[in-house]
Each structure stands twice: as C-alpha cells, then as structure tokens.
Chains A and B, each alone.
Chain A
Amino acid sequence: MSSKPISGPHTAASRRVDQIMWLVIKAMAPAIACGLFLFGWPALYLLATTVAAAVLFEALSLKLKGVAAMPFVRDGSAIVTGLLVAMTLPPWAPWWIGVVGAAIAIVLGKHVYGGLGQNLFNPAMLARVALLISFPIEMTTWANVSPLFTGPGVIDSLAITFGGLQNADAVTGATTLGYVKTEFSQGRMLPGSLLDYSGFLAFLGWERGSLGETSSLLILAGGIWLIRQGVIKWHIPVSLLLTIFLLSSLFHLLDATHYLGPWVHLNSGAVMLVAFFIATDYVTSPNTPQGQIIFGAGCGLLIYVIRTWGGYPEGTGFAILLMNAVTPLIDHYIRPRIYGRYRNGKPLDISNP
C-alpha cells in the first residue's frame, strides 16, 4: 500500500488513445479496401509508402525532440494520419508524392506545433493542400477504375508507383467535379456534360477519384459505426452534410443548368471522408456540441462556395483548413452554460415557485 496521498477517481474508463485510433482505422478499412480493389496494385504501393513514411517521420520527429519514440508511435495517431493522407491522393500517384505528403503532415502539420494534440490544422488536409498547390499535375492525374486483376500486374505496378512511369492516356480521365468545371469553362451547360454520370455507381464508389474517397457508401457506413462506438459525435458530420445538401438543393432548384444537385455534391470528392473522418478530428475541431455545429456548417458552406465559384473543382481541403483556423475563436465564444448560471456566467436569479 502506498502512503502518498492519491486523488480520486480510483477507477477509470477502459478506452485509451491507442484504442480510439484503432477504432478509427477499423472504420476507414472498408473504404480503403474498396480503393485498393478499384485501383489495384499501384494504390496498395502508394498506401504502404505513405503510412510507412508517416510512421518514420513520427519517430524521427520524436527523436529530434528527445522523447522516447516507441510509446507515442504505438498510439496509432501517425498511422491514422498516414492512412488519411493516402486516402486523399490520386491512387496512381508516384511514391514521392506519398512521402512528401507524409512529411508535410507529420513534421509541418503536427510536430512543429508541439506534437499530438497541439496542432492548429488537420495534418492530412495540410498535406493535401500543400501537395495540390506544389504538384498540380501529379495531384490531378486520375486513374480510371480498373479493379484488381484487370489493371497492371504486380511488377508493372511497381513501375507506375516507384519507376516514374507516366500513366498511359488510356487510364486517365477527370473526376466528375473536375469535368464539370472544365465543361463550364468552355461554356457547356450541365445536362449535356453529365450524361454518363451514374449517381448510384458513384455512391458505391465506382468512379474516378482519390484512393479512399470514392465510395461514399462505405465511408458513410464507417462513419455511422464510429458514432455508434462513441468515438465521434454526430454534430459535425450532420451539420456539414446538411449545409451542403441545403445549399446545393437551393441553387439547383434555382438554376439546374449551372448548379450541380445535392446528390452529386454529397457523393463527389472528399465530402463524405471529410465529414466523418477529417472535420471530426478532435484536435482541430471545437469542444462543445454547439461549437461543433457551427464548425460543421462553416465547413459545408466553404466547401460549396469553393466548389461552385472558386478556381478549384474541389474545396474540401481549403474549407477544412480555413475552419481549423477559426476553431480557437469558436471555442473562445461558444461555451456550455454552467449549472446555476446564465450563459454570461451570472448566477441564476432566485425564484421560489
């Protein structure tokens, strides 16, 4: 028995940081598996490279900080970041895109701020945006869907990911959002340009896009499972998706030839992934339910605005980073009401009915 004073509680809940991270990884697994299935070996190589690089940079950063690396590497946060970075990359991107992305995410996005829990911006989104601006060609070269065993083989794929082989024209094309943007710029209207778009296939994931973003269905399933597990709360995903749904519905009703409908918006790009796995990042989102609703709505608004009127076809990365920057402000102003007090902190009036 110890004789030093100990403070309660003398019992604790069983879920630890590493367990939370593994639950997140489990929830992402179906969407990742789908991405690997659709885009084949190059996607697998890229994913492995990115995750390995993320863990390596994590260990390196901790070593430079003079901290024992192992207990922190084991918490799983670097693996989650690595997976998220990979999921947002074009599946046939060269290996160094993954390595640079992991470096930006882990070193610049996380450890420069002081490590786990200290960063202002979501590391994965920071990496994605930095890569998109720095390497626009590599980041917008999309592979066609070529399910495992029908695309390039194990060895040929090595050449695509690690050999710097330019993708053959036959396997590239634009994403739906990118295609629409280009069509608009050439003066063509929507109904004609979306003839071959199948909303249902897109929902399943059967479309060009980033490695782990295409299957809205599987991401949605993973996200709902995470909410049921109590790992994330509903406030951010619901407010984010609802905002995009309402805005896109409104404009689509006003002018269907210029504005994509809600189904396309919710199914395309990184919206689902962002709603459930990026915007809900504990560190970079507000603390209170009310703050989280404001944050989610803000993300949704910015995503829609950037996609519709901005220069890029996809706006999730920018939207998330902008709202991350606002998070401390939201946390400062949106606080829970304290028991027995008004919102402004004054004690309640005495009322004896």
Chain B
Amino acid sequence: MFALFENPRLRGGIHAEEHKTETSALPIATDFPLPKKLYIPVQQHVGKPAEPLVMVGEKVLKGQLLAYSQGTISAPVHAPTSGTIVDVKDFPAPHPSALPIRTVVLESDGLEQWAELNVADDPFQLDPEEICLRVGAAGVVGLGGAVFPSAVKLNLGRKNKIHTLLINAGECEPYLTCDDRLMQERAAEIVAGIRLMLRGMDAPKALVGIEDNKPEAFAAMREASRAFSNIVVSQVPTRYPMGWDRQMLRYLTGQEIPADGRATDIGVVVHNVATAYAVYNAVCLGQPLISRVVTVSGAALAKPQNVEVPIGTLMSEVLVYCGLDKAKLARLVMGGPMMGDALPIAEVPVVKACNGILALSHADIEEPEVQPCIRCSSCVTACPVGLLPLEMASRIKVNQLDAAVDLGLKDCISCGSCSYVCPSNIPLVHYFKFASGELVKRQQAEHKAEQTKRLIEDRNNRMERMRLEAEAEAQRAAEARAARLAAQQQAKADGTDKTTQSVAAEETA
C-alpha cells in the first residue's frame, strides 16, 4: 500500500539502483601486487597540507613519517611501504581538474620492512589524551569521503559534552561496498576502534547505523559488539542519502543539528565506520593509515571487487588488476556515482578519501536530452534537506542568485537526489554548484572592492593628514619668522648689530 504517513524522522531521499551485489559477496582482495612506484600527496585531508621531511634519495621504512602535519587542522602522511624517495614534485591529484599537487614519490624495494611501531600494551587503559595523540600521529582522517582529521574531532568531543558517538555505516552510495565488506570481515577490530574512540572523547555510548541492505554486516557488527552494552548497532532504512550524517542522526535519535551549528553543539560526534577501523590500527597496532579498502566496480571491469591498496597506488594499476576493458570505459569516477567526482585521467593516486573507483560504461551514464521542467515536484519530494530544487534552478537560470539563496541554496548538500529523479534530466545539482561558485566569486569580489575602498580611504586620510601637518608646519615657520623679524626690528631699534647677525646666520642655516 502507498505510504500515507511518512516517517517524520525520515524525509526525502531516493532509492537508487544499487549495483552492490557485484562486489558485496566477494572477500576483500588483500593480494594486490605492490606497485613499483607510489605517489603520495601531502594533502589528503581537510586543512593545511603536511610538510615533507624526507629528502630525495632517502631510504624509508614502511610506516615511517614522510610529511608532518602543520597547524591545528592537518594530518601527517606516512610511507605505505619501504623503499627510496625518488622525487618530491607536483603530480596530478585525483580531482576533476587533475591539477597537480605536491606529491612524494616512493620507489618500493619490495621488502615491506616495517619501521618500529609504537604498540600499546593495553590500549584500553591509555589516557584519552594519549589515544587522541596516537590517532593524530597515525594520520587518521574521516574515511567516509570528508577526510576531516579524526584526532581534531576526538579532541573537539572531549572539549564539549558528548552524549553519543554516531558511527556512520550507512554506505548509501550505489556500487560502494567497502564499508560493508570491512564490517563483515573485521567487525571485532571496528568495535575495538569504536571503544577507543569512546574513551578518547569520554563519551558514554555509541550508535552504529547500518542500512538494512547489509544484513551480513549488521549481524557481524551486532555479534562483535554484544559484550558492550554501550554500543548499539541499529538498522536504518536503505534510502539515499542515509549516509548523510544529519539524516542518519535524525533517524536514529530524532535530533536535528541547527543549520548554523555542528554535531558537537547537540552533543554528538559522527565518525565513519572505516575510520573506527583505522583508529584500531593506529592505537592498538601502532600502524599509521597507509592503506585502505577501495570498492572497484563498474560495467567496464571484468572483476569488480573490494581491494585493499596502499595509499599512493595509481588508479590505473588498480583498474588493470580488476580487469579493465578500455573499450567499455565511458567515465572514471572516484567515490560513488551520486556524489563522486569524474576523473579525466586514471594516472592519479589512490588517496585516503578514495572509497570507490568506478569504471562506468556508456550504458551506465546514458544522459538523455534535457527537457523543460514540468514541475512534477519529484525533486521536492526527493530533497532530504527540504528545499525546492525546481524553484531554485529556475531562479538561477535567470541569474537571480539572491532569490535562490532565499530559497535555501546554502543549505543544499549536493547529494544529487533531485537530479537523479528529474524526469526532464535537468542537471539541478550542476545549477546549484555553479550558483554556489558564483556566490563565492561575488563575495570575493565584494571583499576585494571593500579592501580597495579602504586602501583609498586610508590614502586620502594620509594625504589629508600630511597636508594638515605641512600647513601647520608652514604656519609654525611663518610664526617663527614673524617672531624673529619682530625680534630683529626690536634689536635694530636697540642698535645691537650682533643680534641681527646671529639671527641672519640662523636663518641661512
């Protein structure tokens, strides 16, 4: 029967074609051959780029620090294997622009020799500060795609009063199953990571939300957390974008994060489930974040699967490993098909943010003609934020950006649900991204104009001050001269030549 009454905690969203079965039943491939060269960008996180501290020609061990974090929001970068540093140069980043960023190039020696690891004897007895320190030193960042340095979030949690750690295991993007497989195979480690996070920020309980299309992962996680009453593993409906932390939070707790606030404002911290696994590695084993599980899928591949690959591996090598058919490849995407970025080249490294590499075929990305909007309001129904995409787009089309902002443009999360359901194929998200970009540009221009105005004002003030000072100076000089002349005349009248001479001498000087 059609749903007359919607769940008030669940709004909008879509059910996209999943494409998850291609990879969800296969074990994570751990035998990916070690690449000859690894390209490790120093910026793989939100915040300031890390600063390289290795020299070209230097030999490094697996797990050794390559670049240290600088600033409060940053993360270090480590060597994924042992070998020699052969270059520190600009190299194309996995970004739609493929613009080069600073990258450490490491030639592997094939020995996989570990550096000495700082293993904790009893990690669950460590001080919360110590846990945060270890997480930060291991270069752990949010692995759901947002790549926010995890230690910063844990510290933020310790500073605020946190009642819930929300572990986001929604994995709502079609195709992606890396979190699913990780939970199926390494649930115990993930639960250990969650316990360490709870301790690290002194929070009483954790909620784990898993979409109900991953029953095996749910069972594994529930089993692994059975001994810990403060970790509650729940199923959430499969509806994109459930992985949007605010959507999952509302569904599980009924709480909403204020539009201008953060999760910590209402006592919640959200971490991705793969991040919990990385925290376990960092604190219990002392291993920095140097590899990750990536879903490699798409119709252009012969063997779609989840692969654990070292950070810095070229995507082209991963694609070859999974049997890429170049003739079928129509679009390469990093991430999921809804929010992922299309990459112009495959010779870019796998980075910490990379949860999926999709080799989509022509049939996958078929894009029919754009037709006029028929105001069917499917986009309104699909929007999880509660926006009016069709109205916003019609304003942007005629360049009324302010009207679009009034309608909530800045609240748009670019999840793509509206574009997905649009029967007229209107690229709605594209409109919103464009408008947001224009707004930033306009803001910058305004800022610049303001600065120029201030500089001109400053200059005018300075000139005015100088003029006044010069005038005052001239006045003083005139007064002084008048005084001297008066004195001279007085002296003349007195008949003393000596005084006159001294005054004249003074004046010529």
Contact = CB atoms under 8 A, between A and B. Distances in A.
The answer to whether A and B belong to the same complex is: yes
Interface of A: 1-3, 5-13, 15-17, 19-20, 71, 75, 77, 115-118, 227-228, 233-234, 282-283, 287-289, 331, 335-341, 345, 347-353
A8 B173 CA distance: 12
B257 A340 contact: yes
A8 B380 CA distance: 18
29 contacts: A1-B329, A5-B344, A6-B331, A7-B429, A8-B414, A8-B416, A8-B429, A10-B337, A10-B342, A10-B365, A11-B338, A11-B420, A12-B366, A13-B14, A16-B423, A19-B423, A75-B371, A115-B372, A233-B381, A288-B377, A288-B380, A335-B407, A338-B259, A341-B258, A347-B258, A347-B259, A348-B261, A349-B258, A353-B267
Which of A2, A7, A115, A340 gathers the greatest number of chain B CB atoms within 10 Å?
Answer: A7
B73 to A, nearest CB: 22
B507 interface: no
B332 A1 contact: yes
B506 interface: no
B364 A11 contact: yes
A289 B360 CA distance: 36
Contact of A12 (B2, B367, B371, B385): B367
A24 to B, nearest CB: 11
Contacts of A75: 371
Contacts of A16: 368, 371, 423-425
Nearest to A7: B430
A336 to B, nearest CB: 4
Contact of B374 (A17, A338, A353): A17
Contacts of A71: 369
B258 A283 contact: no
Contacts of A339: 11, 246, 250, 256, 259, 384-386, 411
Given A1-B332, A340-B259, A341-B411, A8 B342 contact: yes
If over half of A's interface residues share one DSSP class (helix, strand or loop), that class is named, otherwise mixed; here it is loop
A8 B338 contact: yes
For the complex of A and B, the 4 pairs showing the least CB-CB separation, nearest first, are: A340-B259, A9-B416, A336-B386, A347-B259
Interface residues of B, number: 76
If over half of B's interface residues share one DSSP class (helix, strand or loop), that class is named, otherwise mixed; here it is loop
Contacts of B374: 17, 20, 77, 116-117, 282-283
A9 B250 CA distance: 24
A266 B245 CA distance: 47
Nearest to A15: B423
Contacts of B161: 352
Contacts of B260: 340, 347
Which of B329, B374, B411 gathers the greatest number of chain A CB atoms within 10 Å?
Answer: B374
B427 A352 contact: no
Contact of B266 (A6, A345, A350): A350
Contacts of A353: 163, 255, 266-267
Interface string B379-421: 0110111111011000000000000000110010010100111
B386 A287 contact: no
B17 A11 contact: yes
Contacts of B174: 11
Interface in B416-445: 416, 419-425, 427, 429-430, 433
Contact of B387 (A6, A116, A331, A338): A338
Given A339-B250, A350-B266, 18 more contacts: A1-B329, A2-B344, A3-B344, A5-B97, A6-B96, A9-B420, A10-B331, A10-B337, A10-B338, A13-B423, A283-B374, A287-B377, A331-B391, A336-B380, A339-B259, A340-B261, A348-B256, A350-B258
